Amino acid sequence: MIHGYSIFLSPLNSQMRDFFAVDGISAITAMKTTYLAVYAAGNLLFGVLTNRISARVTLALGMVVNGAAVAGFAAMGPNDIALMHALWALAAFGGSVYHPVANVLITRLYPTRKGMVLGVTGTGAAVGFAFAPLATGVLATVAGLTWQQIALLFGSAGVLVGIAAWGMIPPAAREANGPHTAGSQRGANEPSEHRGAPHREEHSGEAPGHAQGRSPHSPSHFPTLGVAGLALVIGVASLREVAMWSVLDTSDFFLTLVLADSTRTGFFLFLLYLPGIFVKPLVGVLSDKIGRKRLASAALIFYGLAVASSAAAGPIALIPIYLLMGIGMAATIPSIEAIVADATTERNRGVVFGVFVTAMIGIGALGPFFSGAFLDAVGGTIEGFRALMLVLGALPLLGGIALAILRLPPREPTAGEVSTRAAPHDGSGP
């Protein structure tokens, strides 16, 4: 639901422009910039607070606030565009709890399979991204609902999901797995029920022997990666975010010109995010086995080429191109997030994820506004859209090249992996 909220109205951007009686594209895309900017700032706040707050309360309450704000769109009038920005900001604040709190919770529970679980939970994000615009398209074209009626439905659903989260997340989820328990005081050790289980995890493309000689109680290798290395990873992810959010929020205007039909945008955005449902968990597992960096680099380059190719595509060719864009985009997410998770200890992971998401999405938030402003400056012509797609495609392409050049330190082994290496091999394990 949280990820769906960032996209569900994008297929109706043209309808919203008519409702608010504004001429410029940027007047509508600027709402997404407001949402993303507040969402980014909230991630930093909740990243700092992650180890001090209840995951159950935070995730449930954040979802309710997000849903209630979205439902409030139904009360807007044609002159309330400023109030729309305020409600988007409130919705973003509620949604901003998710990344730092949820990512820390699940990587703490599965310390030797971070890529896998980030990929699996990323499937939920992909479902929201894919089916929210599809549902909006169906509700608008088949049921004849306006964007405000659709917002009321989506907002109410989010409140119900928040209530369900309160009931389903264990009350002691944070305390049972938090940094103050005996298990976590062992450093980055896995939970006791996983200790000693044979498991192999990637080494970021570096020589595995380098990691094997280190103590499991040595400091986090975030200092080894260094501030400059983490900043480069953030920069790479930010280039993807600028491209991703810009493509998302300009697609309705772009497709209306190319297809001469504004009712199909929901379907194309569905195609854009559908691959994530399958690609994210697959890439997450693969990154645990063959390396985060090479997967992320290849995916970024692939994504950039797919975005750029849309500049020369006709109506029919845009269908496979949007699918290819979705494959490349989805593949970058769990692999890059797992790079960041590997670069931290369990104790400081919430703060680092908060900084990572804040910087990444904060920079990405500029994309919709500046893309809209560029299109306004060139008169919203098809040639302007094609030029924009070439620029947007170049951004993740350059990011993939930069990531390929960056040398990442090897991941610290967990206590379970160390004990497995030390134990005699009986031939029964992998």
User: Looking at beta carbons, which pairs linking 251-256 to residues 24 or more positions away fall under 8 Å?
Assistant: 251/10, 252/10, 252/11, 252/12, 252/13, 252/14, 253/13, 253/14, 253/25, 253/375, 253/380, 253/385, 254/385, 254/389, 255/318, 256/14
Span 379-399, pLDDT tens digits: 999 999 999 999 999 999 999
Residue 368 has pLDDT above 50, yes or no: yes
DSSP 42-67: HHHHHHHHGGGS-HHHHHHHHHHHHH
Span 52-93, pLDDT tens digits: 888 889 999 999 999 999 999 999 999 999 999 999 999 999
Residue 187 has pLDDT above 80, yes or no: no
Residue reference for tokens 């849903």? 67
Q: How confident is the model at residue 100 (pLDDT cuts 50, 70, 90)?
A: confident
What integer is the mean pLDDT of 169-190? Answer: 46
Q: What integer pLDDT is reported at residue 232 of this predicted model?
A: 86
CA distance to 39, 160, 194, 353, per residue, from 42 (Å): 5, 22, 33, 12
> What are the residues whose beta carbons fall under 8 Å from the beta carbon of 271, sequence distance 6 or more?
319, 322, 323, 326
Note whether 278 and 37 are within 8 A (CB): no
d(CA 404, CA 49): 33
What integer is the mean pLDDT of 173-191? Answer: 39
What integer is the mean pLDDT of 97-112? Answer: 83
Q: How confident is the model at residue 422 (pLDDT cuts 50, 70, 90)?
A: very low
Q: What is the mean pLDDT of the chain?
A: 81
What integer is the mean pLDDT of 196-224? Answer: 38
Span 325-351, pLDDT tens digits: 999 998 998 888 888 877 777 777 777
Task: For the chain, give the percent of residues with pLDDT over 70.
Answer: 82
d(CA 58, CA 94): 9
Q: What integer pLDDT is reported at residue 409 of this predicted model?
A: 57
Q: From the DSSP assignment, how many helices (H) and strands (E) are in the chain? A: 19, 0
What integer is the mean pLDDT of 120-133? Answer: 87
- How many other CB atoms are found less than 10 A from the CB of residue 218? 12
Q: What integer pLDDT is reported at residue 206 of this predicted model?
A: 37
Note whether 217 and 390 are within 8 A (CB): no
Secondary structure (3-state) at 382: helix
Q: How confident is the model at residue 410 (pLDDT cuts 50, 70, 90)?
A: low
Residue 407 has pLDDT above 60, yes or no: yes
Q: How confident is the model at residue 172 (pLDDT cuts 50, 70, 90)?
A: low
Length of the chain: 430
